[in-house]
Every structure is written in C-alpha cells, then in structure tokens.
A and B are shown apart, each in its own frame.
Chain A
Amino acid sequence: MIEALVQGLGVILQPHYLSFLFGGVILGVMFGAMPAIGALTGVAIVLPFVFDLDLHTAVPLLLGLAAVTSTADTIPAVFFGIPGSAGAQASILDGYPMAQKGEAGRALGAAFTASAIGGLFGVAFLTVSIPVLRSIVLAFGAPEFFMLCMMGVVLIGVLSSGAPIKGIIVGGLGLLIGCIGMSPVTSELRWSFGQIYLWDGIHVIPVALGIFAIVEVVDLLVKGTTIADVPAEGVKGRGVGFRDTLKNWWLVIRCSALGAFVGFLPGLGATFSQWLVYGHAVQSSKNRENFGKGDVRGVIAPDAATNATMAGAVVPTIAFGIPGNATLALLLSAFLVAGVVPGPEMLTTNLDLTVIMIWSIAIANILAAGICFCLVNQLARISLVPIHRLASIVLVFVLIGSIQVTHSWGDVVVLISFSILGWFMKRFGWPRPPLLIGLILSRLSEKYLWISIGAYGASWLYRPLTIVIFVLVVAVVVLFVRIRPGRHGEGGAK
C-alpha cells in the first residue's frame, strides 16, 4: 500500500496530471463561490468534456472540482448569509454574524484552515480504510453486490428529502430508465419505442444536466439580478482565523472524524454531517452562549466536517460501487463509461487509480485553501455578477455538454425532457439525486442480478450476507417511513 501511495504521488505530481488537478480546483472554487451551482451541478457540467480523457487524467480534474466546492461555499455563506451549497448551511449560523461584526476575514481564515485539515483527515481515513476494505470486499459476491446496489438507491432515496417514499419511487424510476435500450444480458431492445437513439439507452449526462444544471440556471434567471444582493466587504484578520483553528485542534479532529464516518454511510453526506458536528460543537463546549451569535467554533466545526465527508464518501464508491453522494454518482458514471467497475478491482488491479483519487483529494484541499486565502475578495465578487451574463455562457456549456455523448439531437430532447421533470420535482420537493443514482446503478444491478440467478438459482436469496443487507435495507425503509413523517410531515415542509 505504501509503495502504491509513493508511486501515485509520483504520478500526480507530473505536470500533466497536476495541471488538470489545478484546473479542477479552480473550477471547484468558482462553482463553490457561486450559490446554487455547487459540486453536483459543477461536475455535471464538466463531466461530458472529460469522457475523451483517460481516467487517470479525468479523475484529478473531477475530484479536484468536487472535493473543494465545500471549501469555497463558505465565502457566500459568510459574506451574504447564502450557502454556496447545501453543505454550507451551518456555517451561516456563526459565519454571517461574524461578518456583520466585521470579522469576515477571521471567519473565512478559520473556515479555510479547518476545511483543509478536515479534507486531509478524510484522506487519511480513506487511506487507512483500503487495507481493511480489501478483505471485506473480496468476501462479497454478485448477490451481495446486487443487494448493495439496491441499498444505495434506497438509502439515498429515503435520506435525501423529508419524503422517503417519494425518494424510493424516484430511485426506482431511475433504475427503470436505466433499463431502456439494449439489454446487457440478451441484447434485446427494451422500451426503445422504435427510436434508434434509445437503442444505447438514456445516458446519464443529458439527464444530470437536465434535472440539475438547466433547472438551477432557470431558477437563477427567474430570480433575476445577481446571485447575492449585497456587496461584500473586504476581509482582514485571516491570520487570526488560522490561529483560531489551530487553537481548537481537538475540535477539528473530532469533527473531521465524525464527518469522514458520515461520508462513509451512503446517502448521508455533508448536509447531515455539518449539523451533526455543529450540535456536537455546541454540546461539548463549556461556554456555549456565543454559538449562533458569531462564535468561530461554529464555523470551524462544520467546515472541518464537510471536507472530511467528501473523502469519506469515496470509500463506498470505490469499494462497493455505491456512490456516497450524488456528485460521486457522476464520477462513478465516468468509471463505468471507461470500463472500470468499482469493487474488488479498485483495491487490486486498479489500485493505482484509487491512489490517484486519494492524492487528488489531499492536494486539492491544500490548493483550495491556499487559493481561497489569497483570492477571497475576488471570489466573493462572482456572486455579484449579473446572472444573465453568467447564464449565457453556462447555458452554452450545458448544451454542448449534453450533445457530447452521442452527438445527436436525441440528447437535446432528453435534456429538455428531464429539465421539465427536474423543475417540477424541485418545485414539489421530490428529491432528484435518487433518479441519477438509480440510472447509474441500473446496468450494474442488472448484471449482478443476472449473475446471481445464473450462478446460484433461487439460493442467492439465502446467502447470509445477502440476508443481512436485505434486512438492513428493509429496516432503514421502515425506520424512515415510520419515523420521519411524524417529525417533518411527509406531506409538508418542516
């Protein structure tokens, strides 16, 4: 493992790979600083353009982008009280009051430092997990992997909104849409309705761009004006924030560990981990009266956790093929297009790729913290660019991205169709990530199911691990269907 890590470092430090990683970090910082864009939409926009690259080049770019949006998304949270992504909501509680008190620089300095340390801690968690995971993953067969795919879709379905049933329905729909086209088993055409375009199935890229990118751009256009409404004041005191983080090192470590662990559990993620650690920071503090009024620990805790969560989420993605979050689901689709199937191979024959992922996240976190430290004022101004200026460029990128897949107008039809569906889903509070994850896991699930039935007949259902995973899936569904409506109201907002 150590040998692989050293070799991987040598590869990633080559100018070619490093430049792609740097490009990804720059994009990630920009997307993070723009509220409503975030990692998911950012990766969806960039992904079509990297399909022609080899995976060793594409992975640093995509992970560089995905890993650092949670560093930059604190900028609008602190300056404007607007989370750059869903994972920066808790940072507002103390970051925004600090900015109002003239301590924006201190808040951001603390946040960037905590993000970098959290990200590195997550990487350490990922690295340590690999030797342990290797033996676990090798004990899994096709039936277990099939059940894990189902578990991934169901978990993300039930956890991604206050409406677990709707999440499962959307996940199921994604799995069915993934079955469109030529069957991977017999090559029979399914649901192609005589359209040649549908023979190859519906590709994830126009779907992702439709349900996320177009919907978000349209919503920003509806809002008009700029992303943020108030001008950002200049920042001073970043050094004080840096020292604050180092002073609270034990809090940073605890929150990073919690964040990495939450990331490991598919479906949870940065939004959950930030609130978990915020609560932990409040509970474990002796003097808690300043929380919510501008306590720097209220910024340090969530920022350390969100970056660690991203690294932790890579673990189930590479080991079991279950994306830890929707952004990694897109990364997984890039793997599948390149013919790399997550699972045991990622820890054996494709270990070099896994190591590149580890180094990409580690270096990206350090680079992002440095860039944010230096360019915080300039980055904050992105939120003040009139939306029509950004939209004219983003829309062109989205359209080009969608037709990159098959170079056919059919992609544009898919893009429009899923934009409409995505807009209604967002409007009515139906979660969109399960659709994407279902679509991505569909072919893999069908392959595992076919192998399971072919190799074991009906007895695949009686394998101990399969039963354990099945019971876990059912338990999670029952727990969330029964408990969550009582707390949040299935039919209404919290």
Chain B
Amino acid sequence: MKFRGEWVLYLFLLALLVVMLARVPDFNYSDRWLPSIIGIPTILLLLWGFGRDIIKSRHQQNKQGEVRQQILDITADTSIPIRALIPRVTNASMWVLGLILAVWLVGFPAGAPLFALLYIKIAGHEDWKISLALTALVALIVAGLFDQALNMMWPPSLLERWLGF
C-alpha cells in the first residue's frame, strides 16, 4: 500500500471535524441542532470515503497526480511533474506571502507598489521601463483609487504601530 498525498487532506479534514464536533455538546441546546445534523453525517462520510480510498489503493495503484474531471470547478493541470511542481508552487507562494508581509510591515499604500516593483523586476525579469510603469499603475490603484478616492480603511501596519499612529 503506497501512501497518497490526498490522505493528508483527508486527515486534516478529519482532525478539523473532530475538533469542531468535540465542542458541540458544550453549546446551548438549540445551537447544537445544525452542527449535529450536518457534522455527524459529514464525519461519517469522511471516514467512509477515507476507508474506501485506503482499501482501493491496496488493489489498484493510482497514477501520480491523477485528478478527477471537475464539472463546476477548474481542473488542476497535472502535466507538470510533482518534482518540478513543488519548487514552482513554493516560489509562487513565497511571492504571495511576500506581498502580505510587505503590506503588514509598511502598509498597503507603500507595500503593494514595493511588491509590484520587486516582483516584476526580479521574478518577471522585466526591464526598468516596464517595471516602473507597472509599479506606478499599482501605486495609482492603491494610493489614488482606494486610499484617496474611496477612503479605504487599511488595517494598521507594524511600522505605523511602532511610530504610534
């Protein structure tokens, strides 16, 4: 029996549902109704599905990265081998986290253009002209549209809290 990556998702959902359902008896009587009606069948279905998946994997070796055809959803592109996929996903995720970190540290009006410049220049390998033009566009959107025109309320950045704003 070969371990499948999908089982991590099963186990995570199982743990989440167990933690949630363990708290249900502490709720008021009427607040327990929906969590119980939904939670108990959901966890039973999850256990059944997981069990069936384990038993199936004993009998048949599913191909790596095999994915069901989605109907209402976008199907994952499984043409990229998993070894090549993981570093690429990590790299892309790091940039997303980088954006979040930048706005958390210095705030949206400064952090978003800073991210755009670094991302387009470093990850996109664009020349300075395009990098600066796109950075200016992002700055215009964030500072001009959201900050000035729409008076958007930003959560306080770390820098603002340090400076006591």
The residue of chain A having its C-beta at the shortest distance from the C-beta of B62 within the complex is: A492
Q: How far is the CA of A396 from the CA of B141 in the complex (A)?
A: 9
With A218-B89, A388-B124, A393-B134 given, is the CB distance from A428 to B9 under 8 Å? Answer: yes
Q: In the complex, are the beta carbons of A172 and B41 less than 8 A apart?
A: yes
Q: In the complex, are the beta carbons of B89 and A393 less than 8 A apart?
A: no
Q: In the complex, are the beta carbons of B72 and A400 less than 8 A apart?
A: no
Q: Which B residues between 29 and 64 are near A, CB-CB below 8 angstroms? A: 30-31, 33-35, 37-39, 41-42, 45-46, 48-49, 52-53, 56-57, 60, 62-63
The residue of chain B having its C-beta at the shortest distance from the C-beta of A411 within the complex is: B155
The one of B71, B95, B96 that contacts A160, using a Cβ cutoff of 8 Å: B71
A151: interface (CB < 8 Å): no
Q: In the complex, are the beta carbons of B31 and A188 less than 8 A apart?
A: yes
Q: In the complex, are the beta carbons of A221 and B100 less than 8 A apart?
A: no
The residue of chain B having its C-beta at the shortest distance from the C-beta of A431 within the complex is: B73
The residue of chain B having its C-beta at the shortest distance from the C-beta of A428 within the complex is: B6
A190: interface (CB < 8 Å): yes
Q: In the complex, are the beta carbons of B71 and A86 less than 8 A apart?
A: yes
Q: Mark A256-278, 1 if CB is under 8 A from B, else 0.
A: 00000000000101011000000
Q: In the complex, are the beta carbons of B74 and A38 less than 8 A apart?
A: yes
Q: How far is the CA of A5 from the CA of B57 in the complex (A)?
A: 58
Which residues of chain A are within 8 angstroms of B48 by Cβ–Cβ distance? 165
A407: interface (CB < 8 Å): yes
B159: interface (CB < 8 Å): no
Q: In the complex, are the beta carbons of B33 and A450 less than 8 A apart?
A: yes
Q: In the complex, are the beta carbons of A169 and B13 less than 8 A apart?
A: yes
Q: Which B residues between 122 and 148 are near A, CB-CB below 8 angstroms? A: 123-124, 126, 130, 134, 137-138, 141-142, 146
Q: In the complex, are the beta carbons of A407 and B155 less than 8 A apart?
A: yes
Q: In the complex, are the beta carbons of B120 and A392 less than 8 A apart?
A: yes
How many Å from the CB of B115 to the closest CB on chain A?
A: 7
The residue of chain B having its C-beta at the shortest distance from the C-beta of A326 within the complex is: B72
Tally of chain A residues near chain B (CB < 8 A): 82
How many Å from the CB of A163 to the closest CB on chain B?
A: 5
Q: Mark A155-169, 1 if CB is under 8 A from B, else 0.
A: 010011111011011
Q: How far is the CA of A490 from the CA of B145 in the complex (A)?
A: 48
A307: interface (CB < 8 Å): no
How many Å from the CB of A127 to the closest CB on chain B?
A: 26
Q: How far is the CA of A185 from the CA of B32 in the complex (A)?
A: 11
Q: In the complex, are the beta carbons of B142 and A400 less than 8 A apart?
A: yes
Q: How far is the CA of A179 from the CA of B30 in the complex (A)?
A: 13
With A186-B30, A433-B73 given, is the CB distance from A222 to B89 under 8 Å? Answer: yes
Which residues of chain B are within 8 angstroms of A397 by Cβ–Cβ distance? 141
Q: Which A residues between 206 and 252 are near B, CB-CB below 8 angstroms? A: 214, 216-219, 221-224
Q: Mark B93-110, 1 if CB is under 8 A from A, else 0.
A: 101110110011000100
With A36-B74, A392-B119 given, is the CB distance from A428 to B30 under 8 Å? Answer: no
Q: How far is the CA of A396 from the CA of B5 in the complex (A)?
A: 31
Q: In the complex, are the beta carbons of A403 and B155 less than 8 A apart?
A: yes
Q: Mark A348-392, 1 if CB is under 8 A from B, else 0.
A: 000000000000000000000000000000000000001011011
How many Å from the CB of B42 to the closest CB on chain A?
A: 3
Q: In the complex, are the beta carbons of A176 and B42 less than 8 A apart?
A: yes
A9: interface (CB < 8 Å): no
How many Å from the CB of A135 to the closest CB on chain B?
A: 30
The residue of chain B having its C-beta at the shortest distance from the C-beta of A214 within the complex is: B96
A-B CB contact pairs (8 Å), 29 listed: A86-B70, A162-B70, A166-B49, A168-B45, A172-B38, A173-B16, A173-B17, A175-B34, A179-B34, A185-B31, A186-B28, A188-B28, A217-B96, A218-B89, A271-B72, A326-B73, A393-B116, A395-B115, A399-B99, A399-B100, A400-B146, A407-B155, A429-B75, A446-B33, A449-B37, A450-B30, A490-B52, A491-B57, A492-B60
Chain B residues in the interface with A (C-beta under 8 A):
5-6, 8-9, 12-13, 16-17, 20, 23, 27-28, 30-31, 33-35, 37-39, 41-42, 45-46, 48-49, 52-53, 56-57, 60, 62-63, 65-77, 80, 85, 88-89, 91-93, 95-97, 99-100, 103-104, 108, 112, 115-116, 119-120, 123-124, 126, 130, 134, 137-138, 141-142, 146, 152-155
Additional 16 contacts, C-beta under 8 A, given A224-B88, A399-B100, A408-B155: A86-B70, A86-B75, A159-B72, A165-B45, A168-B45, A222-B88, A326-B73, A389-B124, A393-B138, A403-B154, A407-B153, A428-B6, A432-B73, A446-B34, A488-B69, A491-B53
